Structure 1
Amino acid sequence: MSHPLASPPPGRPPRITVVGPGAVGATLAGAFAASGAEVSLLGRPGPHLDAIAARGLLLRGRETGVGRETGVGRETGVEVRYRFPTAYDAGRLPVPDLAVLCVKSQHLLPAARSLRTWLDQHGTDVLVVANGVPWWLLSTVERAGDDAVLRSVDPDGELLRLLPPERVMSGVAHFSSAVEGPGRVTHLSGDRLIIGDPAGGISDRVHRCAAALSAGPVHAEPSADIRRDSWEKLLGNVNLNPVSALTGATVLDILDDPDVRHICAAMFDETAAVGTALGIESAMTADDRLDIARKLGAFRTSMLQDADRGRPLELDAIVGAVRELARRTGVPSPTLDALHGLLALRERVRGRGETPDS
């Protein structure tokens, strides 16, 4: 049974803590605040969170609430500066009604651990907005054997124990944002956040969460089949993200090259076949998905942004997990295997501090 999103006392707006105020998290923080929520930020120590604590979050974009009175931000042109309580430690923030986790897959387990008191003692609900194959997926399908743990993203099953599917909502972001510098985020394009329960259907907590994004620059869409929505986004990320990180190319560059587009289509087809084997059906074709991505223009994928900054890549959650599922279901994945191997090698070489000239 799903847990309803905690209702605030009469007269108090919902309290929402965004965990991981990077590009996506900061954009959602602004959207929740513009809709009237009391927003706080929980993040790792570093210049970005320090800048937000000292000067506020500067959110820039064509839909950042210009022309609206947010009550928490000072509007200047197409920019809004928000002042949010920030902390490195959850114990220093008010207990929220909802925690929104917007961290990379490799940071999801420590983030979940940091919220344990809120979850166990206060019933705080959780919305996880992340790329890649969800850690809970195998616990909601019947065609992948008895082991419900997705080892490539949750090696010991601890994440599944901390955040079982009935305890969380899952979010699929269809917007693009970028951190331009410490405390500065630009909302580039798109405005959709799909929200749903892993087990399917649309619960009261999903409706409440969507209502908390009623007036901001990101619009929530409740979904009765978040597994399919997550997989359909993966069908674009599984190819464009690793190819962009490997080549340094924008999505427009990738899709305007016929040979590279063919590689992306092959990765789509292999991933779609895995989804079918798991019982996750989609009518979307490779051309459908790649044409949607092309309309977003010359943007740099999240994996390419991480590669540019020398950060670890979400390779396991976006590609490795699909390969694991392919092996569990007996689906061939030669193109996924090749791209995964090349990018994993790139990461190992980079990790040793080597360059092509060294």
Structure 2
Amino acid sequence: MPIVGVIGGGQLARMMQPAAINLGLELRVFAESENSSAALSATSIGDYNDYEQLRAFAVDCDAITFDHEHVPTHLLSELEQDGIAVRPGPKALIHAQNKLVMRRKLAELGLPQPAWAAAKSAEDVEAFIAQHGPKIIVKTPIGGYDGKGVRVVSDAAQVADWLGKIDSFGGELLLEQKVDFSRELAQLSARRPSGEFKTFPLAQTIQENSVCSEVIAPAPQADFAAAKEIARAIAESLEVVGVMAVELFETPEGKLLVNELAMRPHNSGHFSMDGCKTSQFEQHLRAVLDLPLGDTSLNFDFAVMINLLGVDEKNDFLAHYPSAMASFPQVKFHLYQKAPRGGRKMGHLNLTGSNLDELLVAGRNCRAILYNQ
């Protein structure tokens, strides 16, 4: 039985388990704590910054992959030197870990992206504001996610604290043009070592407080061919192995600009669990083991995903489950077994069908019951 090891015990590792069972694989999880979302699959508890612990976990696995992108790449390089298959490899993963590395590579490839620059000083920030302001986006190159490590600023003083500890961010901040976009899109794809590449239906993502709230697939009236070719260019040039998400801005003129990358299953692809012939989790496992990729087409005209974000430190949604299930039997429920906390990703709802408006209304109303609103 092939063994896939997943570093990180979050909900993505949790949702790989059913796919692994169906494929006849053994899934092992290196979790950070005993009460992680993937606790049922966790075979090791430890520190992913400790090489000896990582190696002890990985040595018997046919491939190592990730629930998150925080493992230092130099440790992953050591695993590769020890003959362990790391997928995606550190040379690809660094582009998802460091946004400045990503921006430089996209520029080298000639792919569309917002105007950007690296900043080491307040003077650098002010110069970029003068050219692209009055407001710009400033990001920490490493460590940010779900809106963390991102600020909209009109003055360098608004990032003085980041500039004061700039060495902790690799010595530079990332400055980006504040794009006047009409909507956000996400192109998921998968590539395996032999080179086979497939995309999922292009999805539209709807954000709330910088966190994904809803996903619609396929994105209505979008440039599917352009999104697919952007994803292909990135995956092939970086030799990405596994699922990759390319987050995109669509301008009012219909132009696509690359926002960020993720090299693992992604929140924007959860619709595929019930909406596609092959889910992103199954596809990821196929890819990292270099197995033939599955059919990614939709089973229905539309698939909708509604994120369940924590409302407070008490509501884990379980008390309202029966009522929500009774009112919306067509909804597929996915909870992550996490302790409740405001804004935390606690689960999601999937809906499929032919009437997009009806799916969105049903999903939002079901979520309102779980939120006790």
TM value normalised by structure 1: 0.35
Structure number with the higher strand fraction is 2
